Amino acid sequence: MKTIRTLAATTAICAAGAAHAVDLEVTHWWTSGGEAAAVAQFAKAFNEKTEHNWVDGAIAGGGGTARPIMISRILGGDPMDATQLNHGRQAEELIEAGLMLDLTDVAEAEGWKDIVNPSSLLDSCTVDGRIYCAPVNIHSWQWIWLSHKAYEDAGVDVPSNWDEFVASAPALEEAGKIPLAMGQQPWQSSGAFGVMAIAIAGQDAWSAVNIDKNADVAGGPEYAKVFEAAANARAFAAKSNVQDWNQATNLVITGQAGAQIMGDWAQGEFQVAGQVAGEDYTCLPGLGVNEIISTGGDAFYFPKQDDPEVEAAQKELAALLLSPEVQVDFNLAKGSLPIRGDVDLAAANDCMKKGLEILASGAILPDGNQTLSPDTSGQIEDLMVEFWNDPSYSAADAQARYAEIIADAD
Amino acid sequence: MAEATKRPNSLTRNLTAKIASLPMIATALVIFIGCTLWTIYHSFTRSRLLPAPDKWVGLDQYERLWNTRRWLVSIENLAIYGICSLILSLVIGFTLAALLDQKIRGENVFRTIFLYPFALSFIVTGLAWQWILNPQFGIQEVVRRWGLESFTFDPLNNADIAIYGILIAGIWQGSGFIMVIMLAGLRGIDEEIWKAARVDGIPTWKTYVFIIIPMMRPVFVTALVLIASGIIKVYDLVVAQTSGGPGIATEVPAKYVIEKMFLSQNLGQGFAASTMMLLSVLVVLIPWAYLEFGGKRRG
């Protein structure tokens, strides 16, 4: 039987070149332990459930390193078959230039409009009524991860919000711990600042700055408090000289550092290390102050290819990424929230359940990537990475520069 | 009249050679000059991810560029890295070459050892030196284990001196190559010159400084051009070693250009920065070319 099938398949290929296995090159920047485990779920599903092959094109070094490579490849006429990007405006111009595959027919056939929740994720994929990307997960930045071991060693209780954390920092330092772990990549500095802005300045001020681009609010008293808090946090993180975010997470896992402000993708690292939420570590959404999460995340884009067979395979992959089973496997490994509300995440741990509850309650905001252009985000990252690493850069100076950037934002 | 026909036309002289160099001439005109002009033109536009020749904004991109701290830091770093790397590469390269030229035993072994780093890419060099300079497992930790508990050497974590950490790696990688070029130059010096100097009783170091080095001028010019082009385009070393950190302490112009173009999706800003890089090369190159080639014609 098998021989016959193989024979038939071979004949088919020879005869007409009818639908045969296509190698799809997929690029992404998921290289840390938890991330690699998650993306392996995609590869496995794609290889098993379709006749095509997943060719992994992981690019190490995080989005900041990977995106220039991806975009220059697409622009340079050597596009991959599918690529990860963040929801939002990163692919805006590529779509407008007609370099991305239109997925509207897949979306209609699969009923994405009804299943994707929150709908803003699909809106981010939509240009002029056509859908160009497949959202795969929701990631929120607004989390602080606390190490129980570090607090035990220092002899203080694990804090339950940002103010308690600030109060506990001296005790941690005395015990030889780094109060706040912080990697030195620009997006980490910028992201942590964003988290503090929502928690400390509040949702209205954050929206005024990030959505309405109001420079007066960016230079105003609410944001002054945020910059003061960031200057404090900078002192807590002074001894943390790691580069990558997962190295910083590792400091928390091993109890060398008290806490890390990082998105929920850190969850995957705790999972790989075999730690249990609530026992080994605590997660506080919105820094324990303001329980709101932003709904950024990752989406797959499919650069246009000439070959209709490749195009068919691309569409198959797009449909597969959003299928319930794949969504569950992938998001459990990654620690992110699924983009459809109708799947069962009973296996999720405490932190993910907290996230799901907040998502269900509707306390959500768009992600910075959805509201700011890559150019503005880049300028903010440049400012933040300098501010976080240079203790002589005063909060007031940084705020003035921040207000300038927001005034020029588009 | 008869004389004029006898004199070969300057256009048809060496015709085959000229035809042979046509592809290169075309490449130079179209790729180098043409694309440079295209880039400069677009630096005056508000091009985002795709070139937008119709969105003219004048000098806006340049104004923003020179108001950006990161760009100013990049320029400063390039100056520090460039001057130090130029001087040290030449001095170390020449000294090593002169020492190897003493007809020592095992010259091949030493030459191979010194040249070996050049076989590594800047990425490998950068990563290797990132580990060597890492305070947790590198030089600092080794010396501390020997008993010097207070020994501190972590240039990559100190924003004030981080660029020198990059410099060390750059010199380590490149000076072997300069050494080989210098050695070739030294081997080209006629043995008679050395004999004459010895007969006159001139000390060896004086012979090197006042006779050999001036004779090696073309070799030095070659080395200089190679080093300088390496300095301007330094990018991968920084990306591998520090990614521009801590903070923005080791940013360099080439990295600014790449990131503005493809990460921030702002071609106009990236083009403005690369035009400034071109300008800085020209500022160095034109006076030198004038002295080098203009002087000869006059002489």
Over the stretch A243-253, which tens digit does the pLDDT of each residue have? 889 899 999 99
Range name among A153-157, A167-171, A346-350, A368-372 with the lowest pLDDT average: A346-350
Does one domain contain both A33 and A125? yes
Nearest chain A Cα to B268, which residue? A375
- B226 by Cβ neighbours in 10 Å (0-12 / 13-18 / 19+) ranks as middle
Q: Over chain A, what is the mean pLDDT? A: 88
CATH number for position A217: 3.40.190.10
Range name among A68-72, B195-199, B260-264, B294-298 with the lowest pLDDT average: B294-298
Residue with structure tokens 């806006």? B60
Does one domain contain both A26 and A72? yes
CA atoms within 13 A on the CB side of A200: 19
Q: What is the pLDDT of residues B139-162, one digit of tens each?
A: 888 999 898 888 888 888 888 899
Q: What is the pLDDT of residues A167-221, one digit of tens each?
A: 999 999 999 999 999 988 888 999 999 999 999 998 899 999 999 999 999 999 9
Does one domain contain both A89 and A177? no
Is residue A90 predicted with pLDDT exceeding 90?
no
Number of domains in chain A: 2
Which residues of chain B does A386 touch, with a Cβ-Cβ cutoff of 8 Å?
69-70, 247-248
In a domain, A156, yes or no: yes
Is residue B107 predicted with pLDDT exceeding 50?
yes
- pLDDT score, position B296: 54
> CB–CB of A378 and B266 under 8 A?
yes
Which residues, other chains included, contact B20 with Cβ-Cβ below 8 Å and sequence gap of 6+? none
In a domain, A7, yes or no: no
In this complex, the residue of A71, A243, A388 whose CB is nearest that of residue B243 is A243
Q: Are A291 and A356 in contact (CB under 8 A)?
A: no
Q: Is A71 in CB contact (< 8 Å) with chain B?
A: yes
Range name among A394-398, B9-13, B75-79, B97-101 with the lowest pLDDT average: B9-13
CATH topology of domain B64-298: MetI-like fold (1.10.3720)
Does one domain contain both A353 and A371? no
Does one domain contain both A396 and A279? yes
Q: Are B211 and B197 in contact (CB under 8 A)?
A: yes
ipTM above 0.85, yes or no: no
Does one domain contain both A326 and A309? yes
- pLDDT score, position B80: 94
Range name among A26-30, A227-231, B132-136, B166-170 with the lowest pLDDT average: B132-136
Give CA–CA dist B251/A70, Å, rounded: 22
Which residues of chain B does A184 touch, with a Cβ-Cβ cutoff of 8 Å?
243, 245-247
In a domain, A8, yes or no: no
Does one domain contain both A306 and A259? no
Q: What is the mean pLDDT of residues B280-287?
A: 83
Is residue A104 predicted with pLDDT exceeding 90?
yes
| Chain B residues with at least one Cβ partner in A under 8 Å | 48-50, 68-70, 135, 157, 159, 239, 243, 245-249, 258-266, 269
Phi/psi for A336 (5° steps) reads -100, 170
> CB–CB of B49 and A72 under 8 A?
no
Domain housing A54: 22-139+296-360
In a domain, A340, yes or no: yes
Domain ranges in chain B?
64-298
Q: What is the pLDDT of residues B208-254, one digit of tens each?
A: 989 999 999 889 988 988 898 889 889 999 988 888 878 889 999 99
Band the pLDDT of A11: cuts 50, 70, 90. Answer: very low
- pLDDT score, position A105: 92
How many other C-beta atoms lie within 10 A of the C-beta of residue A410?
9
- pLDDT score, position B292: 74
In this complex, the residue of A61, A97, A375 whose CB is nearest that of residue B264 is A375
State what percent of residues in chain A have pLDDT above 70: 95
Band the pLDDT of A14: cuts 50, 70, 90. Answer: very low
In a domain, A17, yes or no: no
Give CA–CA dist A185/A243, Å, rounded: 6
Does one domain contain both A204 and A329? no
Q: What is the pLDDT of residues B255-282, one digit of tens each?
A: 999 999 888 888 999 999 999 999 988 8
Which residues of chain A does B246 touch, with a Cβ-Cβ cutoff of 8 Å?
184, 241, 389
